[in-house]
Amino acid sequence: MAFRKIDAPSIKELFLTQLEEMILSGELKPGDRLPTERELADTMGISKTVVHEGIRELVRIGFLDVMSRQGVYVADYTSTGNLDTLLAIIRYRGDMPDKKMLISLLETRLYLECPCIQILAELRDPEHIRKLEALQEDVKKTLAADINTFATALFMYRKTIASLSGNCIVPLIMNAFFTASISAWADYCEYIGRQNTYEALVQTTEYIKNGDSDSAICLFTECIEKYKNHLRNL
């Protein structure tokens, strides 16, 4: 078994972290012009090469915008960003998205997961049903466990619906956000209620088994909308 050497963060990584935090905290706002690369290097005590490479990375992520012959400006990352931007925002907020972002994530779940539910209900594959029933039993076993364990079991059930539908992208997206948003999953379970959540899974499995995609999607949507309304009222 070969263990790899543990390396400290590089100067470039520290540079990226500092600028990301300044942008996400509002210290640097969209439209603000950054000092020149040389000025940044001198002020921060690092090489101009590190600054140049770091700026290129922040442009790729969507935090900065380079305007020819004018300089480097802070971008409106909500319109220029990508998946890496979103993950950086969630990390910055301590693994719990703010209300606006959390509501957006819930709406995205509806767009991604409802078609998967429909496909699974149309297939009505007995093997799929057996897997879902096994996972709902796993959820039942965690009813008395800590909330994160219960939320993780719920996540596995929901992700399996996406996987069994044959979609290879939705499960990857769900995995990408799970670690960063486990607190949100746990809060959802606490608000909806563990028993209610479990009973909704049992009903979902039954709907899929009977090929009733409309009812399964309606149930999922009701749970999401209920939690969204809760967040709006906080």
* CATH number for the domain running over 11-84: 1.10.10.10
6: which DSSP letter? P
Mean pLDDT of the chain: 91
Which value, to the nearest 10 degrees, does the dihedral of the CA atoms of residues 91, 96, 97, 98 take?
Answer: -120
The radius of gyration computed from the CA coordinates of the chain, to the nearest angstrom, equals 22
Query: How high is the pLDDT of residue 123?
Result: 95
Give tens-digit pLDDT for 155-206: 999 999 999 999 999 999 898 888 777 888 899 999 999 999 999 999 999 9
Whether residue 4 has pLDDT greater than 80? no
45: which DSSP letter? T
What is the distance between the alpha carbons of residues 27 and 110, in angstroms, rounded to a whole number? 34
Single out the residue of 48, 88, 100, 92 nearest to residue 64, CA to CA.
88
Q: Note if the pTM is more than 0.85.
A: no
Identify the band that residue 1 occupies on the pLDDT scale cut at 50, 70 and 90: low
Orientation angle between helical segments 99-123 and 213-232, nearest 10 degrees: 170
The CATH number of domain 94-232, selected from 2.40.30.10, 1.20.120.530, 1.10.1060.10, 3.40.50.720:
1.20.120.530
What is the distance between the alpha carbons of residues 193 and 139, in angstroms, rounded to a whole number? 13
Would you kindly state where each structural domain of the chain is located, as residue ranges?
Answer: 11-84, 94-232
Question: In this structure, which amino acid lies at residue 46?
Answer: I
What is the distance between the alpha carbons of residues 20 and 28, in angstroms, rounded to a whole number? 9
**Number of C-beta neighbours around residue 7 at 10 A:** 7
